A and B are shown apart, each in its own frame.
Chain A
Amino acid sequence: MYRQGDVLIVPLDEAAVPPHAADAPQEPRDARGRLVLALGEVTGHAHAVLGPGRLLREPGAVGPLLLHLPDGGRVVHEEHAAIPLPKGWYRVVRQREYVPGSVRLVAD
C-alpha cells in the first residue's frame, strides 16, 4: 500500500474487485486530464493520478474509490512527493479522524 498525505492507496486483488466495477460510472478527469483521488476545497491542491486508467466511486458520500491502472501510473500532489504505482487495481481511502459521536474526514 502507498500513502500520500491523507490518502491511502491499497492494492486490491483482481479477484476482490467488485463485479459491478466493470460497469460502474467513471469519475471524470479534471481539466488537466488527471484522475483526481481527493481535492482540497480551498487550495485546490489535489491528489491525482497521471496516465491511463479508470476511477470508480463506490456507493456512499466519501467513497472509497476504486482505481484501475492497466499500465501503472503516478500519484502526484502539489505538496507531496510523487509515488509511482504498479499496474493493477487499488482501493483509495481518505484519512478520517475520530470525533465523539461521529467521524470526519481529514483534509491536508
Chain B
Amino acid sequence: MTATVGTAGTTGVTGGIGGAGAVGPVGAGGAAEPAGVPAGAAAGDVDGWRAVAAATGPADRAAAEAGVRLAYRRAGLAEPERIVWAGSPRAALRLLREAPDGPCGPAARGRSVREAVRSAPWAAERGRLNELLGARGWGRRWAVTGARLWETTERLADRIRAGLVEEAAGGPADEAEVRLLLLDAVLGQHDAAWLCAFGTEPGSPLEGLAAVARSAGWWWPYERLAVVCERPVELHRDEAGRLDRGDGPALAYGDGFALHAWRGMPVPAAFPAELRALTPERIRTEENAELRRVMLEFYGYDRYLRESRAKPVHRDDTGVLWRIPLPDDEDVAMVEVVNSTPEPDGTSRTYWLRVPPDTRTARQGVAWTFGLEADAYAPLRET
C-alpha cells in the first residue's frame, strides 16, 4: 500500500518556483548516493510526492486511520482511542476549541503527542541519514528531493495557517489559542516535501506518517484521540505553483473553508466577482496598490492601455515600452513582447511584462527581465 501514491483526485502538480524540476529517481542525474547505502534508505519519488501535496478530493479514511494508528505504535504509544474526522483544518480547530469538557476538549484528548509521533521519528531519520550519507551526501539528497517541493508546499501551508488565524481569531487571546493549536498540527499531505527525502517503505520508521500524508490532510495527534482532516476539494494554481483563480476560491474545502488569491496574492472573497465587472475608471480609483495591480492584470494591460489611450513610449527590435501614470503611485512601465514562436494557428502571442518604472527603452526593459544591462542583451536566436 505504501508503495503506491494517492493521486486520485489530483488537479495539478506543484514544485519549487523556478521549477528546474527533478522528476527522475534520485541519483539519475549523477547525484549518486555512496555505495553501501542500504535498502530502506532510498528516497521516494519527487513526482509522486508532488502529486500527494496537490491532491484534492475525499480522504481515503481507512488508509489514513491505519496510518495514524501505525504512527502511534511506531512512536511507542498506545493507539488513540478515537479518530475524529473534520471537513477542513478550520473545522478541526473548532472541534479542539469547543468547551474544555467537550468531546475533543483538553480533558478528553490528553496532551499533544506531535513531538513523539512526528518530530522525533523525523529527526531520528534525518540523523541516521546524515550519519549514513555524510552531511554533504544528505545535502545532495535534500537538494534533489525535498528542496524541489519545499517552497510551494510550505507557502501553501503558510497561507492556510494565515487564513485559519484570520477567520478563527476574534481577538488577541483567540489568536494566541489558534496559533498554539496550529503548532500541534501534523500537515499530512503538506508534509510531502520533507517525507520525499526519506524512505517510507513498509517497515520504515516513517511508514505511518507517509500513509496518512498519502490519504488525508492535516491532522492533530493527542494522547487519547486524533483529529484528521479531509483534503481540499479545489486547488487552483498558476504555472509557478502559486494559488491563483479569478472566478472563485483558489483553495476550497468541502465544508466551505476557502482562500482566494490571484497569482499568489491573497484577495478578499468578493474580489473575483468584482474583477469581472471592472472598468478603467474603477481601476484608477482603487486605493490599495496591490489590489489595483491585480485588477490591471485581470483586466489585461493591453485592454487597459487601449481604453485609456496610452501611447507607446519607445519601440525597438525587442518590443514596445508602455507607461501608465497612476495617481499617488509609481508609474506602471510595461514591455510588450511578441513571442517568437508562432502559435499553432500561425498567430504570434503578444505578452506583457512589468518592468521597473525608471525603464527608458524597450531593450532596457527586456534585458532587465533577465537581469542584464540593455547593451548586454543580444540573443543570437530566439524561439
Contact = CB atoms under 8 A, between A and B. Distances in A.
Nearest to A96: B369
Interface in B8-40: 12-31
Interface string B312-341: 000000000000000000100100000111
Contacts of B25: 28
Q: Range of interface residues on chain A?
A: 35 or more
A27 B29 contact: yes
Interface residues of B, number: 57
- Could you say which of A30, A63, A77 has the most chain B C-beta atoms within 10 Å of its C-beta? A30
Given A37-B20, A104-B240, A105-B17, 6 more contacts: A28-B23, A28-B24, A29-B28, A55-B20, A77-B383, A95-B353
Nearest to A28: B29
Interface stretch (B189-197, B219-227, B275-283, B373-381): B373-381
Contacts, number: 156
- Could you say which of B143, B238, B369 has the most chain A C-beta atoms within 10 Å of its C-beta? B369
Nearest to B382: A3
B354 A36 contact: no
Given A28-B24, A41-B241, A93-B371, A80 B18 contact: no
B368 interface: yes
24 contacts: A3-B340, A4-B383, A5-B341, A26-B31, A28-B25, A28-B30, A28-B31, A30-B22, A30-B24, A31-B23, A39-B20, A41-B12, A41-B14, A41-B239, A79-B341, A81-B340, A83-B381, A92-B20, A93-B370, A95-B370, A100-B289, A106-B353, A107-B19, A107-B238
Interface string A77-108: 10111110000000011111111100011111
Interface of B: 12-31, 47, 139-140, 143-144, 151-152, 237-241, 264, 289, 293, 330, 333, 339-341, 351, 353-356, 368-372, 377-383
A92 B237 CA distance: 25
Given A25-B31, A26-B31, A98-B356, A41 B20 contact: no
A69 interface: no
Given A27-B22, A63-B20, A83-B383, A43 B239 contact: yes
A30 B341 contact: no
A108 B13 CA distance: 16
Interface string A27-47: 111110101111111111010
Pairs of residues from A and B, 4 with the lowest C-beta to C-beta distance, nearest first:
A28-B29, A107-B239, A39-B21, A62-B18
Nearest to B27: A28
Interface of A: 1-5, 8, 25-31, 33, 35-44, 46, 54-55, 57, 61-63, 65, 77, 79-83, 92-100, 104-108
Nearest to A43: B239
Contacts of B371: 93, 96
A81 B341 contact: yes
B19 A40 contact: yes
Contacts of B380: 1-2
